[in-house]
């Protein structure tokens, strides 16, 4: 075989080996990342979550999220809901229990839920931004354990009414709403539903959310606190479509 042909043969073998190594390295890294996200310890998960949180807490110039027609795909089986399951208007809420704007919005939104409950469905999704709200993740975890006992909305009312999210307060809320405390304690300490919270966070990233509170009203993105009058207009507009 001519020397030149041998050179190119070995060159392409070498090149293919390099490409194969790069691909293998990337694949291993990707598998490791997914494994850590799903099965890693709390510290690892916190680091991964922080990468998402930078989108919400630091990118103030990010474009507003676009409305989405396929909003129902973000309604997960584990997400707490209330209202009419066959409602013409679906409101998906992304909230952080420690977010001051979410706390300010709570009375108005509660009034909206009560007023329009026969014609709307409300879906709750946790979006705890722990970089700026360090107690939010604990409250989110506690809320999922209340949901396990079908008392999420009672816990939601306690947390947003009292606004205290230390461990003692979370346990007091659980007691106040009549949870079976041994079951709650085991659920909370094991962070049983942490992956559900991570899925809500991933959904928020995929939609392009910039912060809390954010609502999807039949797919229309509504950011921040809005008045009762604006809620009236928004819901009636969707009911009349």
143 and 97 in contact (C-beta within 8 Å)? yes
Domain count, the chain: 2
Q: Quick one: 114 and 201 in the same domain?
A: yes
Max CA distance (Å), the chain: 87
> If you ran DSSP here, which 8-state letter would residue 64 be given?
P
234 and 217 in contact (C-beta within 8 Å)? yes
- Is the C-alpha dihedral spanning 188, 189, 195, 200 positive or negative? positive
Q: Quick one: 49 and 33 in the same domain?
A: no
Q: Quick one: 55 and 105 in the same domain?
A: yes
Q: Quick one: 137 and 213 in the same domain?
A: yes
Q: Quick one: 1 and 75 in the same domain?
A: no
Residues near 119 by Cβ (< 8 Å), separated by ≥ 6? Answer: 84, 87, 88, 89, 235, 239
Q: What is the pLDDT of residue 210?
A: 87
Q: Quick one: 176 and 120 in the same domain?
A: yes
Q: What is the pLDDT of residue 130?
A: 78
Q: Which residues pair with 81 in a beta bridge?
A: 123
Q: Which residue has the tokens 């709390």?
A: 42
Q: Quick one: 118 and 13 in the same domain?
A: no
Q: Quick one: 111 and 11 in the same domain?
A: no
Q: What is the pLDDT of residue 32?
A: 43
Buried b (16+ CB within 10 A) or exposed e, 68-85: beebeebeeeebbbebbe
Q: Quick one: 85 and 16 in the same domain?
A: no
Could you tell me where the DSSP H helices lie in 117-193? Answer: 136-148, 152-162, 167-176, 181-190
Q: Quick one: 31 and 87 in the same domain?
A: no
Q: What is the pLDDT of residue 107?
A: 97
Q: What is the pLDDT of residue 57?
A: 47
pTM of the model: 0.76
Q: Quick one: 54 and 118 in the same domain?
A: yes
Question: Helix (H, G, I), strand (E, B), or coil: what is residue 221?
Answer: strand
Residues near 52 by Cβ (< 8 Å), separated by ≥ 6? Answer: 201, 202, 205
Structural domain for 6, as ranges: 1-39
113 and 144 in contact (C-beta within 8 Å)? no
Report the CATH number that the domain containing residue 161 is assigned in CATH. Answer: 3.40.30.10
Residue by residue, pLDDT tens for the chain (241 residues) are 555 555 555 555 555 556 555 555 544 444 444 444 443 445 534 544 555 555 554 444 567 778 888 999 999 999 999 999 999 999 999 999 999 999 999 999 999 999 999 999 999 999 998 778 889 999 999 999 999 999 999 999 999 999 999 999 999 999 999 999 999 999 999 999 999 999 999 999 999 998 899 999 999 999 999 999 999 999 999 999 8
Q: Quick one: 35 and 153 in the same domain?
A: no
């Amino acid at each position: 075989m001519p020397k030149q042909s041998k050179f190119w043969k070995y060159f392409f073998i070498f090149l293919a080996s390099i490409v194969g190594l790069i691909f293998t390295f990337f694949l291993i890294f990707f598998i490791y990342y997914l494994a850590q996200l799903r099965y890693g310890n709390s510290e690892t998960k916190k680091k991964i979550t922080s990468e998402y949180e930078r989108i919400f807490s630091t990118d103030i110039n990010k474009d507003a999220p676009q409305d989405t027609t396929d909003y129902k795909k973000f309604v997960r089986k584990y997400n707490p809901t209330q209202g009419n399951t066959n409602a013409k208007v679906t409101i998906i809420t992304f909230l952080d229990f420690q977010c001051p704007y979410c706390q300010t919005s709570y009375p108005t939104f509660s009034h909206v839920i009560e007023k329009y409950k026969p014609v709307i469905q409300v879906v709750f999704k946790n979006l705890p931004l722990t970089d700026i709200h360090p107690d939010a993740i604990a409250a989110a975890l506690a809320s999922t354990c209340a949901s396990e006992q079908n008392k999420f909305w009672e816990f939601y009312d306690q947390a947003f009414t009292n606004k205290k999210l230390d461990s003692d307060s979370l346990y007091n809320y659980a007691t106040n709403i009549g949870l079976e405390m041994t079951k709650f304690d085991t659920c909370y300490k094991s962070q049983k539903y942490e992956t559900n919270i991570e899925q809500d966070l991933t959904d928020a990233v995929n939609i392009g959310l910039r912060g809390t509170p954010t609502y999807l009203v039949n797919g229309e993105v509504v950011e921040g606190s809005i008045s009762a009058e604006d809620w009236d207009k928004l819901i009636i507009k969707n009911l009349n479509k």
